[in-house]
Amino acid sequence: MTLQLKPIINPGQPTDLPAGAESLLSEEKIGPRDGAGKTVVVAMSGGVDSAVTALIMRERGYRVIGMNLRLFSPDDPEHSVNPCCGIPAMDDARATCALIGVPFYAINMETEFGQHVVDKFVDEYAHGRTPNPCLECNRHVKFRHLVQRARMLGADCLATGHYARVVHGTGDQPHRLYRAVDQRKDQSYVLYTMDQDQLGYITFPLGNLIKPEVRQLARIFGLPVAEKEESQEICFVGKGSYADFVARRRPDVTRPGDIVTTDGETIGQHRGLVHHTIGQRKGIGVPRPEPLYALRLDLTENRLVVGSRNDAEAARVTAENVSLTQGAWPDLPIEISVSVRYRGTPMPATVTFGAESGRSAIIEFDADRPIAAPGQAIVFYDGDEVLGGGTIATVQRSWEVAGAMVAG
């Protein structure tokens, strides 16, 4: 059923809801209908999640302003390589806003995105690290520049289609960030850099919904993106190889070199270190009885060091640029759970924080040990609450710890 919606006449009161929508738009699911007299900017990517976010905020009584960020212009004129960054995405966002009766604006933020996300992505890979561009986009573009734009417009808050939850504190109580109800879609890993000011200003209306419910709402209200597929690729890389994307900008990273074991034996040749990431199992190209894992990218000697799954496990990592969502800096070690991968399973660990001025920490793993790489985010959890995190600077692996103990 397709409905031609009209803007809310009485702010704070729900529209006449079509069949099937009432339970999905209950306050338990979407939050209180507290938007009377308030304005919200909704980040509109052109996908179903942001479209339903705008719909929900409208149903909560807010005056909604849809804002699409033009972040990256694909090389192909049809923008078919990755349409999430091109004109088709902007058109989908505009069509959604027109249907639900809210104003739409397109903002060009290619310069900010290029500096803070694309350039860093290329530089990090060229230096043998494993960056997370979605995290950097949230940190520098959406929750910095976009928040500034929203405040300039006089908006009371910013809403995005991220799957996560914010519980806003009152009085002296801090705002808290939590994992989404839908664990399969949870995006809290790329949100750990949010501070108290941002958490107090931003809302995630999809945090208590699961993806099928979001799709259902889009279908019930006839949103034009109800059946739109999700993009699974890095938005500016598209369907191509990240290595090819980096190589076009840094041809020096494609220099062939040796593949060696931890004891120095040469067992093959690589096509350029950019084609490998630490922890990689497939694509090494050297047949062995047991799978080989990339352990280290030796930039000095242009060598790829490989070993077994046990060799790849991290016993201890150091993190830099550590930030904590509640702001308080612990004096003593804490035992919590940490994750080194997007939607990865948090593992028990002990975190010892350095001096607050240095914003560093040492993380030691218990029996369960992940495969970790410099450049990755490591995120701290207490149950479902996100405490903060940092960027992995160094990794000490199980075989290196054992070797150090023998040498000692």
Catalytic residue among 85, 97, 157, 235: 235
Concerning whether 235 is annotated as a catalytic residue, the answer is yes
Helix (H) or strand (E) holding 122: helix 119-126
CA dist 396 → 236, 293, 354 (Å): 32, 15, 18
CA distances from 214 to 54, 153, 379 (A): 12, 28, 27
What CA–CA distance (Å, rounded) separates 162 from 155? 19
Spatial separation of the C-alpha atoms in residues 350 and 360, rounded to whole Å: 14
The strand pairing partners of 107, in sequence order, are 69
Short-list 274, 240, 45, CA closest to 137: 45
Q: Is 355 buried (19+), middle (13-18) or exposed (0-12) by CB count in 10 A?
A: exposed
Distance CA 240, CA 232 (A): 12
Radius of gyration in angstroms for the set of CA atoms belonging to the chain, rounded to a whole number: 23
What is the residue type of 406? V
Q: Number of C-alpha atoms within 13 angstroms, CB side, residue 401?
A: 15
Residues 6+ positions from 343 with CB-CB distance below 8 Å: 183, 184, 186, 189
Collect all residues with Cβ–Cβ distance below 8 Å to 178 and sequence separation of at least 6.
164, 165, 166, 167, 188, 207, 384, 385, 386
Residue 164 contacts residue 188 (beta carbons within 8 Å): yes
Q: Is 157 a residue of the active site? A: no
d(CA 246, CA 122): 5
Residue 299, SS3? coil
Catalytic residue among 84, 97, 137, 157: 137
- DSSP letters, 35-69, are -TT-EEEEE--SSHHHHHHHHHHHHTT-EEEEEEE
Amino acid occupying residue 197? D
Q: Which residues are catalytic?
A: 137, 235
